[in-house]
Amino acid sequence: MLAYVIRRVFQSLIVLLVVGLVAFSMFTFVGDPIDNMLGQERTDADIARLRAQLGLDQPFPVQYLRFLENAIQGNFGVSYRQGRPVAEIIAERAPATLELAFVSGLFAITFGIGLGVFTALRRNGWAANTIMTLSLVGVSLPTFLIGIVLIYIFSVELNWLPSFGRGEVVDLGWWTTGFLTASGLKALILPSITLGLYQMTLIMRLVRTEMLEVLRQDYIRFARARGLKDRAVHFRHALKNTLVPVITVTGLQLGSIIAFAIITETVFQWPGVGLLFINAIQFVDIPVMAAYLMLISVMFVMINLIVDLLYFAIDPRLRVDRTAAKG
Protein backbone atom coordinates (compact mmCIF):
# COMPACT_ATOMS: atom_id res chain seq x y z
CA MET A 1 0.00 0.00 0.00
CA LEU A 2 2.71 2.47 1.04
CA ALA A 3 4.93 1.30 -1.81
CA TYR A 4 2.03 1.83 -4.17
CA VAL A 5 1.46 5.37 -2.93
CA ILE A 6 5.15 6.20 -3.27
CA ARG A 7 5.19 4.81 -6.79
CA ARG A 8 2.15 6.87 -7.74
CA VAL A 9 3.67 10.02 -6.27
CA PHE A 10 6.83 9.35 -8.24
CA GLN A 11 4.85 8.90 -11.46
CA SER A 12 3.03 12.13 -10.73
CA LEU A 13 6.32 13.97 -10.42
CA ILE A 14 7.44 12.73 -13.83
CA VAL A 15 4.18 13.95 -15.34
CA LEU A 16 4.74 17.34 -13.77
CA LEU A 17 8.30 17.54 -15.10
CA VAL A 18 7.07 16.87 -18.63
CA VAL A 19 4.30 19.45 -18.32
CA GLY A 20 6.90 21.85 -16.96
CA LEU A 21 8.98 21.28 -20.07
CA VAL A 22 6.03 22.04 -22.31
CA ALA A 23 5.13 25.11 -20.29
CA PHE A 24 8.69 26.31 -20.41
CA SER A 25 9.04 25.66 -24.14
CA MET A 26 6.40 28.31 -24.71
CA PHE A 27 8.88 30.94 -23.68
CA THR A 28 11.15 29.93 -26.51
CA PHE A 29 8.73 28.98 -29.20
CA VAL A 30 5.70 31.24 -28.83
CA GLY A 31 6.89 34.59 -30.12
CA ASP A 32 9.51 36.76 -28.53
CA PRO A 33 8.43 38.36 -25.27
CA ILE A 34 10.90 41.19 -25.77
CA ASP A 35 8.79 42.35 -28.73
CA ASN A 36 5.79 42.72 -26.46
CA MET A 37 7.56 44.31 -23.55
CA LEU A 38 9.39 47.02 -25.41
CA GLY A 39 7.46 49.43 -27.55
CA GLN A 40 8.06 50.53 -31.13
CA GLU A 41 10.87 52.85 -30.19
CA ARG A 42 13.46 50.44 -28.91
CA THR A 43 17.13 50.15 -29.49
CA ASP A 44 19.22 47.04 -29.87
CA ALA A 45 20.85 47.96 -26.59
CA ASP A 46 17.47 47.97 -24.84
CA ILE A 47 16.72 44.55 -26.25
CA ALA A 48 20.05 43.10 -25.20
CA ARG A 49 19.79 44.60 -21.73
CA LEU A 50 16.29 43.22 -21.13
CA ARG A 51 17.28 39.87 -22.59
CA ALA A 52 20.15 39.60 -20.12
CA GLN A 53 18.00 40.87 -17.28
CA LEU A 54 15.37 38.19 -17.91
CA GLY A 55 18.03 35.50 -18.44
CA LEU A 56 16.86 34.84 -21.99
CA ASP A 57 20.42 34.87 -23.32
CA GLN A 58 21.27 31.63 -21.47
CA PRO A 59 21.24 28.22 -23.21
CA PHE A 60 17.94 26.29 -23.21
CA PRO A 61 18.76 23.62 -20.58
CA VAL A 62 20.08 26.25 -18.18
CA GLN A 63 16.94 28.30 -18.64
CA TYR A 64 14.80 25.18 -18.05
CA LEU A 65 16.60 24.27 -14.85
CA ARG A 66 16.27 27.81 -13.58
CA PHE A 67 12.60 27.75 -14.49
CA LEU A 68 12.11 24.52 -12.53
CA GLU A 69 14.10 25.79 -9.57
CA ASN A 70 11.98 28.91 -9.43
CA ALA A 71 8.74 27.07 -10.08
CA ILE A 72 9.33 24.74 -7.16
CA GLN A 73 9.73 27.77 -4.94
CA GLY A 74 6.48 29.13 -6.33
CA ASN A 75 8.23 31.76 -8.38
CA PHE A 76 6.92 31.89 -11.92
CA GLY A 77 8.52 35.16 -12.84
CA VAL A 78 7.00 38.48 -13.58
CA SER A 79 3.94 39.01 -15.73
CA TYR A 80 4.98 40.77 -18.97
CA ARG A 81 1.76 42.70 -19.00
CA GLN A 82 1.13 43.62 -15.37
CA GLY A 83 4.75 43.80 -14.26
CA ARG A 84 3.90 41.95 -11.02
CA PRO A 85 5.00 38.51 -9.82
CA VAL A 86 2.85 35.82 -11.45
CA ALA A 87 2.54 33.87 -8.22
CA GLU A 88 0.96 36.91 -6.58
CA ILE A 89 -1.52 37.43 -9.41
CA ILE A 90 -2.53 33.76 -9.40
CA ALA A 91 -2.88 33.63 -5.62
CA GLU A 92 -5.20 36.60 -5.91
CA ARG A 93 -7.32 34.93 -8.60
CA ALA A 94 -7.24 31.31 -7.42
CA PRO A 95 -9.93 31.57 -4.70
CA ALA A 96 -12.52 32.68 -7.26
CA THR A 97 -11.81 29.72 -9.53
CA LEU A 98 -11.51 27.20 -6.71
CA GLU A 99 -14.79 28.28 -5.13
CA LEU A 100 -16.51 28.10 -8.50
CA ALA A 101 -15.03 24.68 -9.22
CA PHE A 102 -15.93 23.44 -5.74
CA VAL A 103 -19.58 24.45 -6.04
CA SER A 104 -19.85 23.09 -9.59
CA GLY A 105 -18.21 19.84 -8.55
CA LEU A 106 -20.57 19.51 -5.62
CA PHE A 107 -23.50 20.24 -7.91
CA ALA A 108 -22.30 17.74 -10.53
CA ILE A 109 -21.65 14.93 -8.04
CA THR A 110 -24.79 15.41 -5.94
CA PHE A 111 -27.20 15.68 -8.82
CA GLY A 112 -25.24 13.31 -11.05
CA ILE A 113 -25.33 10.46 -8.55
CA GLY A 114 -28.82 11.28 -7.30
CA LEU A 115 -30.41 11.45 -10.73
CA GLY A 116 -28.33 8.52 -11.97
CA VAL A 117 -29.64 6.29 -9.19
CA PHE A 118 -33.16 7.58 -9.71
CA THR A 119 -33.17 6.94 -13.46
CA ALA A 120 -31.68 3.47 -12.93
CA LEU A 121 -34.26 2.44 -10.34
CA ARG A 122 -37.24 3.94 -12.19
CA ARG A 123 -35.92 2.75 -15.49
CA ASN A 124 -39.22 2.84 -17.34
CA GLY A 125 -40.97 5.68 -15.54
CA TRP A 126 -41.88 8.83 -17.41
CA ALA A 127 -39.84 11.04 -15.06
CA ALA A 128 -36.69 8.98 -15.64
CA ASN A 129 -37.23 9.01 -19.39
CA THR A 130 -37.71 12.78 -19.38
CA ILE A 131 -34.50 13.25 -17.39
CA MET A 132 -32.59 10.96 -19.74
CA THR A 133 -33.81 12.89 -22.77
CA LEU A 134 -32.94 16.23 -21.20
CA SER A 135 -29.53 14.92 -20.24
CA LEU A 136 -28.75 14.46 -23.93
CA VAL A 137 -29.22 18.21 -24.27
CA GLY A 138 -26.86 18.77 -21.36
CA VAL A 139 -24.20 16.59 -22.93
CA SER A 140 -24.45 18.12 -26.37
CA LEU A 141 -24.84 21.84 -25.67
CA PRO A 142 -21.59 23.79 -25.55
CA THR A 143 -20.77 25.41 -22.23
CA PHE A 144 -20.82 28.99 -23.44
CA LEU A 145 -24.29 28.54 -24.92
CA ILE A 146 -25.66 27.15 -21.65
CA GLY A 147 -24.15 30.13 -19.85
CA ILE A 148 -25.65 32.64 -22.26
CA VAL A 149 -29.07 30.97 -22.14
CA LEU A 150 -29.00 30.95 -18.32
CA ILE A 151 -28.00 34.61 -18.26
CA TYR A 152 -30.80 35.44 -20.68
CA ILE A 153 -33.43 33.64 -18.61
CA PHE A 154 -32.38 34.35 -15.04
CA SER A 155 -30.61 37.69 -15.37
CA VAL A 156 -32.14 39.47 -18.32
CA GLU A 157 -35.74 38.21 -18.32
CA LEU A 158 -36.38 37.27 -14.68
CA ASN A 159 -33.74 39.52 -13.17
CA TRP A 160 -33.20 37.08 -10.28
CA LEU A 161 -29.49 36.49 -10.44
CA PRO A 162 -26.48 38.57 -11.46
CA SER A 163 -25.08 37.98 -14.93
CA PHE A 164 -21.41 38.63 -14.20
CA GLY A 165 -18.79 38.91 -11.47
CA ARG A 166 -18.49 37.40 -8.01
CA GLY A 167 -20.71 39.80 -6.11
CA GLU A 168 -19.45 41.02 -2.76
CA VAL A 169 -16.54 39.05 -1.41
CA VAL A 170 -15.08 38.87 2.08
CA ASP A 171 -11.32 39.18 2.28
CA LEU A 172 -9.84 36.76 4.80
CA GLY A 173 -6.34 38.00 4.16
CA TRP A 174 -5.04 35.01 2.24
CA TRP A 175 -8.36 34.10 0.64
CA THR A 176 -11.31 36.01 -0.72
CA THR A 177 -14.60 34.20 -0.38
CA GLY A 178 -18.01 34.70 -1.91
CA PHE A 179 -19.58 32.16 0.45
CA LEU A 180 -20.21 34.65 3.23
CA THR A 181 -22.36 37.23 1.50
CA ALA A 182 -25.79 36.88 -0.07
CA SER A 183 -24.70 38.53 -3.29
CA GLY A 184 -21.59 36.33 -3.42
CA LEU A 185 -23.69 33.19 -3.09
CA LYS A 186 -26.20 34.40 -5.67
CA ALA A 187 -23.40 35.19 -8.09
CA LEU A 188 -22.13 31.61 -7.74
CA ILE A 189 -25.35 29.93 -8.85
CA LEU A 190 -25.41 30.52 -12.62
CA PRO A 191 -21.69 30.00 -13.29
CA SER A 192 -21.67 26.83 -11.16
CA ILE A 193 -24.59 25.32 -13.06
CA THR A 194 -23.05 26.32 -16.38
CA LEU A 195 -19.72 24.77 -15.47
CA GLY A 196 -21.11 21.67 -13.79
CA LEU A 197 -23.99 20.79 -16.12
CA TYR A 198 -21.95 18.77 -18.59
CA GLN A 199 -20.18 16.89 -15.80
CA MET A 200 -23.47 16.36 -14.01
CA THR A 201 -25.13 14.75 -17.04
CA LEU A 202 -22.04 12.69 -17.72
CA ILE A 203 -21.88 11.38 -14.14
CA MET A 204 -25.61 10.77 -14.19
CA ARG A 205 -25.52 8.69 -17.36
CA LEU A 206 -22.52 6.78 -16.10
CA VAL A 207 -24.08 6.07 -12.69
CA ARG A 208 -27.26 4.91 -14.41
CA THR A 209 -25.44 2.52 -16.73
CA GLU A 210 -23.25 1.11 -13.97
CA MET A 211 -26.17 0.81 -11.58
CA LEU A 212 -28.25 -1.12 -14.12
CA GLU A 213 -25.29 -3.41 -14.65
CA VAL A 214 -24.80 -3.95 -10.92
CA LEU A 215 -28.52 -4.57 -10.35
CA ARG A 216 -28.26 -7.56 -12.69
CA GLN A 217 -25.52 -9.16 -10.60
CA ASP A 218 -26.07 -12.34 -8.61
CA TYR A 219 -25.25 -10.71 -5.30
CA ILE A 220 -28.12 -8.28 -5.78
CA ARG A 221 -30.48 -11.19 -6.48
CA PHE A 222 -29.09 -12.92 -3.42
CA ALA A 223 -29.55 -9.77 -1.33
CA ARG A 224 -33.18 -9.63 -2.47
CA ALA A 225 -33.62 -13.35 -1.86
CA ARG A 226 -32.43 -12.74 1.70
CA GLY A 227 -35.30 -10.35 2.19
CA LEU A 228 -33.29 -7.17 2.61
CA LYS A 229 -35.23 -3.94 2.26
CA ASP A 230 -35.16 -2.26 -1.13
CA ARG A 231 -33.33 0.69 0.37
CA ALA A 232 -30.55 -1.55 1.67
CA VAL A 233 -30.33 -3.43 -1.63
CA HIS A 234 -30.19 -0.27 -3.70
CA PHE A 235 -27.97 1.95 -1.61
CA ARG A 236 -25.90 -0.38 0.55
CA HIS A 237 -25.30 -3.11 -2.00
CA ALA A 238 -25.82 -1.64 -5.44
CA LEU A 239 -24.65 1.96 -5.11
CA LYS A 240 -21.38 1.10 -3.42
CA ASN A 241 -20.46 -1.28 -6.23
CA THR A 242 -21.52 1.31 -8.75
CA LEU A 243 -19.15 3.89 -7.31
CA VAL A 244 -15.93 2.02 -8.05
CA PRO A 245 -15.88 2.77 -11.79
CA VAL A 246 -17.73 6.05 -11.33
CA ILE A 247 -14.98 7.48 -9.14
CA THR A 248 -12.39 7.32 -11.92
CA VAL A 249 -14.44 9.28 -14.37
CA THR A 250 -15.70 11.67 -11.72
CA GLY A 251 -12.15 12.42 -10.62
CA LEU A 252 -11.07 13.23 -14.14
CA GLN A 253 -14.18 15.33 -14.61
CA LEU A 254 -13.39 17.39 -11.52
CA GLY A 255 -10.00 18.12 -13.02
CA SER A 256 -11.61 19.27 -16.22
CA ILE A 257 -14.04 21.44 -14.26
CA ILE A 258 -11.07 23.54 -13.21
CA ALA A 259 -9.63 23.49 -16.70
CA PHE A 260 -12.93 24.27 -18.46
CA ALA A 261 -13.57 27.09 -16.03
CA ILE A 262 -11.87 29.24 -18.69
CA ILE A 263 -14.99 29.34 -20.85
CA THR A 264 -17.44 29.83 -18.00
CA GLU A 265 -15.26 32.51 -16.45
CA THR A 266 -15.16 34.33 -19.78
CA VAL A 267 -18.93 34.18 -20.23
CA PHE A 268 -19.60 35.38 -16.68
CA GLN A 269 -16.57 37.66 -16.42
CA TRP A 270 -15.65 35.67 -13.34
CA PRO A 271 -12.41 37.04 -11.91
CA GLY A 272 -10.60 33.71 -11.66
CA VAL A 273 -7.46 32.19 -13.13
CA GLY A 274 -9.30 31.07 -16.27
CA LEU A 275 -10.15 34.62 -17.21
CA LEU A 276 -6.60 35.59 -16.29
CA PHE A 277 -5.33 32.92 -18.69
CA ILE A 278 -7.54 34.12 -21.56
CA ASN A 279 -6.30 37.67 -21.07
CA ALA A 280 -2.73 36.39 -20.84
CA ILE A 281 -3.11 34.65 -24.22
CA GLN A 282 -4.31 37.84 -25.85
CA PHE A 283 -1.18 39.62 -24.66
CA VAL A 284 1.18 36.65 -25.09
CA ASP A 285 1.89 36.95 -21.35
CA ILE A 286 3.89 33.74 -21.29
CA PRO A 287 4.87 33.62 -17.57
CA VAL A 288 1.18 33.70 -16.66
CA MET A 289 0.33 31.06 -19.28
CA ALA A 290 3.15 28.80 -18.10
CA ALA A 291 2.16 29.17 -14.46
CA TYR A 292 -1.47 28.46 -15.31
CA LEU A 293 -0.50 25.32 -17.20
CA MET A 294 1.57 24.13 -14.25
CA LEU A 295 -1.23 24.91 -11.81
CA ILE A 296 -3.80 22.96 -13.80
CA SER A 297 -1.47 19.98 -14.20
CA VAL A 298 -0.68 19.92 -10.49
CA MET A 299 -4.41 19.82 -9.78
CA PHE A 300 -5.04 17.06 -12.31
CA VAL A 301 -2.21 14.99 -10.92
CA MET A 302 -3.36 15.53 -7.34
CA ILE A 303 -6.94 14.60 -8.15
CA ASN A 304 -5.77 11.44 -9.90
CA LEU A 305 -3.70 10.52 -6.90
CA ILE A 306 -6.67 11.01 -4.61
CA VAL A 307 -8.85 8.91 -6.92
CA ASP A 308 -6.32 6.08 -6.81
CA LEU A 309 -6.28 6.24 -3.04
CA LEU A 310 -10.10 6.27 -2.92
CA TYR A 311 -10.13 2.90 -4.67
CA PHE A 312 -8.43 1.43 -1.65
CA ALA A 313 -11.00 2.94 0.66
CA ILE A 314 -13.89 1.51 -1.36
CA ASP A 315 -12.68 -1.76 -2.82
CA PRO A 316 -11.16 -4.21 -0.32
CA ARG A 317 -9.99 -6.52 -3.12
CA LEU A 318 -7.31 -4.03 -4.13
CA ARG A 319 -5.87 -3.81 -0.64
CA VAL A 320 -5.13 -7.50 -0.50
CA ASP A 321 -4.05 -7.97 -4.09
CA ARG A 322 -1.45 -5.24 -3.76
CA THR A 323 0.16 -6.67 -0.66
CA ALA A 324 -0.07 -10.17 -2.12
CA ALA A 325 1.61 -9.01 -5.31
CA LYS A 326 4.38 -7.45 -3.24
CA GLY A 327 4.93 -10.84 -1.58
Partner 1 sequence: MTDPVLSVRNLTVEIPTRRGVLRPVDGVSYDIAAGEILGVVGESGAGKSMTGNAVIGLLDPPARITGGEIHLLGERIDQLKGEALRKIRGKKIGMIFQDPLTSLNPLLKVGEQLTETILAHLPVSQSDAEARALAALEEVGIPAATQRLNSYPHEFSGGMRQRVVIALALCAEPSLVIADEPTTALDVSVQAQIIALLKRLCRERGTAVMLVTHDMGVIAEAADRVAVMYAGRLAELAPVQQVVQAPQHPYTDGLMGSTPLASLGQKRLRQIPGSMPRLTALPDGCAFHPRCQRATDRCRSNPGPTLAACNGRAACWHPLTDEDRAAREATA
Which residues contact partner 1 by CB under 8 A?
Answer: 217-219, 221-230, 232, 236-237, 240-241, 244, 314-317, 320
Least separation in angstroms between residue 314's CB and partner 1 is: 7
Cα–Cα–Cα angle for 103, 274, 268, rounded to 5 degrees = 65
Least separation in angstroms between residue 123's CB and partner 1 is: 11
Least separation in angstroms between residue 4's CB and partner 1 is: 18
CB-nearer residue toward partner 1: 4 or 283:
4
Nearest to 100 by CA among 188, 23, 180, 15: 188
CB-nearer residue toward partner 1: 136 or 314:
314
In 138-166, which positions are buried (b, 16+ CB within 10 angstroms) versus exposed (e)?
beeeebeebbbebbeebbeeeeebbbebb
Least separation in angstroms between residue 117's CB and partner 1 is: 16
Measured in degrees and rounded to the nearest 5, phi and psi for residue 171 equal -90, 115
Least separation in angstroms between residue 227's CB and partner 1 is: 3
Amino acid identity of residue 210, one-letter, is E
- Residue 173's region, left for phi above 0, alpha for psi from -120 to 50, else beta, is left
Cα–Cα distance for residue pair 21/46, rounded to 1 Å? 28
Cα–Cα distance for residue pair 306/271, rounded to 1 Å? 28
CB-nearer residue toward partner 1: 9 or 313:
313
Nearest to 106 by CA among 117, 95, 94, 114: 114
Least separation in angstroms between residue 317's CB and partner 1 is: 5
CB-nearer residue toward partner 1: 129 or 269:
129
CB-nearer residue toward partner 1: 211 or 267:
211
CB-nearer residue toward partner 1: 158 or 324:
324
Given a contact cutoff of 8 angstroms between Cβ atoms, the answer to whether 24 and 64 are in contact is yes
Half-sphere exposure of 227 (CA within 13 A, CB side): 0
